[in-house]
Amino acid sequence: MKRGDPRIIGSLAYLTPLTSTLILVVLGGRSLTWVSAPAMLPIVAGAMIGSLDIFRLKSLSSQEC
């Protein structure tokens, strides 16, 4: 946290349940059910909404150069 951007760390925290589910599917021999996709959609949406500010800052800094 000392050198990291808290906004990026917060956005990545949204992806933890998604990543653990995908690891269970790949390594644990589990299968995705019909409930998995609708459950993953809000997780990805939350990560994207949380990182909008980060993308805006990158696009503004690249336009200044």
Listed in sequence order, the residues at least 6 apart from 44 whose beta carbon sits closer than 8 Å to its beta carbon are 14, 15, 18
pLDDT digits (tens, 9 = 90+) for 36-63: 888 888 888 887 887 777 666 665 566 6
pLDDT surpasses 60 at 64: no
For residue range 6-33, list pLDDT tens digits in order.
777 777 787 888 888 889 889 988 788 8
What gap in Å lies between CA 14 and CA 33, rounded to an integer?
Answer: 21
